[in-house]
Amino acid sequence: MTGALLILVSAQIAVRGTVAGAESHQPLSFSTVALHPGFEQRFTDAGGGFVFPGVRPGNYLLSVRQIGYAPLDTQLVLSGDTTVIQVALHHLAIELPPVTIAASQCANPGSPDPSDAALRAVFGQLQENARRLRLLSDSYPFHYTLELTDRLVNQRGDTGPPVTTHLRFSSTDNRNHAYMVGRVVERAWGPWGSPDSGLVIHSAELEDLANPDFVASHCFHLSGRDTIAGEKLIRIDFEPSKDVRSADMAGSAYLDSLTYQVRYTATALTRPDRSALRNVRAVRFWTRFHNIGPGVPLQDSLWVMTSYYFDQGARIETQRTVDVQFKRPPPSP
């Protein structure tokens, strides 16, 4: 008696394409492209090209994103032939309100309501900045050094001699210490030192701003245009829900008004008395970003001032990101 095994193999195809600007017709390198289901986000190459090999025939959703351009989602019906797609993204045009200040408490946290088109669009660009940094960290891991300089300021405003230290991080070190309600002030970890001898106070890092827990516990408000150091910027404010009882973060993110790339964030620690900190009156952060890849922002420098009760003066710390080293080089623009 003999037996036979028949294996049926579905045909697999490749989906290839290029992403370009609809107005300029120039290729858009470092666009993010995903094919759902089954194929996660990836960057386009220097010529705006991408490829998804090994795709089975069927129905898919192609999602394409680029900072400063309207997002594109399109349905694909794939047969047994290699598919070539040319994607044209249109520049994003958002009509912004004048600068306003939100006075109400945050009662309805979460993603902005779709009825507020301008806020929704700017919020989407803020999220895209954060997602691009995460994708770069995953696709092209890197290490970097934080150069920390610490100064104490006495009651007369005199500063003591600076103390400088260097801490080495990987691009994914913060993943296990991402934003969580009640954990904005936590015990030191990893490069920060011993958990028994120090505390880490979180500012609103870029990846935090796309963290689902952060979004779900904060309100967002579009404050309109602002100017910093001669740059015309778009400001979007955030504040914790009134139901968050622990120390948390409130502040603003500033995006370039033409490219929608994040340039700065300003963060203030809320309710420091409801944390492990002692005698701390206020903590304020100011962060500046630069592009580590085309349209991918990374913290360039950070300034933080901690002030205390009982006339204890203040502490000023600055951080600089230096010596960024990729494990493998990202594609050139």
Task: Give the pLDDT of residue 225.
Answer: 87
What's the CATH fold of domain 13-89? Immunoglobulin-like (2.60.40)
Task: Give the pLDDT of residue 132.
Answer: 92
101 pLDDT more than 50? yes
Tell how far CA 3 is from the center of its chain.
58
pLDDT, tens digit, 9 for 90 and up, residues 242-300? 999 999 999 999 999 989 999 999 999 999 999 999 999 999 999 999 998 778 899 99
Q: For the chain, give the number of residues.
A: 333
**Three-class SS state of 197:** coil
8 pLDDT more than 80? no
φ and ψ at 111, to 5 degrees? -60, 145
- CA gap 244, 165 in Å, rounded: 34
**Mean pLDDT (whole number) for 70-94:** 89
Give the long-range contacts of residues 94-98, CB within 8 A, separation 24 or more.
94/118, 94/121, 94/122, 94/234, 96/122, 96/222, 96/224, 96/225, 96/234, 97/222, 97/224, 98/224, 98/225
Among 89-103, 216-230, 311-325, the minimum mean pLDDT is found in: 89-103
**Three-class SS state of 295:** coil
281 close to 290: Cβ distance less than 8 angstroms: no
Cα angle for residues 185, 167, 198 (degrees, 5° grid)? 35
| Residue 133 binned pLDDT confidence (cut-offs 50, 70, 90) | very high
297 prior amide bond cis, ω within 30: no
Task: Give the pLDDT of residue 2.
Answer: 43
Share of the chain above pLDDT 70, in %: 92
Q: What is the maximum span of the chain, computed from C-alpha positions, in angstroms?
A: 99
Task: Give the pLDDT of residue 143.
Answer: 95
21 pLDDT more than 70? yes
- Nearest CA to 209 out of 176, 173, 253, 254 is that of 253
**Mean pLDDT (whole number) for 122-134:** 93
- CA gap 292, 329 in Å, rounded: 11
* Average pLDDT over the chain, rounded to an integer: 89
Residue 311 has a CB neighbour count (10 Å cut-off) of 7
| Two structure tokens written together for 317 | 């710390």
- Nearest CA to 144 out of 152, 154, 136 is that of 136
Does the domain formed by 117-326 have CATH 2.60.40?
no
Q: Where are the domains of the chain?
A: 13-89, 117-326
114 pLDDT more than 70? yes
Q: What amino acid is encoded at 267 in this protein?
A: T
- CA gap 40, 33 in Å, rounded: 8
Contacts of residue 281, Cβ cutoff 8 Å, sequence gap at least 6: 272, 307, 308, 309
The pTM for the full model equals: 0.89
Task: Give the pLDDT of residue 333.
Answer: 56
Contacts of residue 297, Cβ cutoff 8 Å, sequence gap at least 6: 129, 132, 133, 206, 261, 262, 263, 289, 290, 291
23 close to 6: Cβ distance less than 8 angstroms: no
Task: Give the pLDDT of residue 13.
Answer: 83
Task: Give the pLDDT of residue 1.
Answer: 41
Task: Give the pLDDT of residue 19.
Answer: 96
Contacts of residue 167, Cβ cutoff 8 Å, sequence gap at least 6: 145, 146, 148, 191, 192
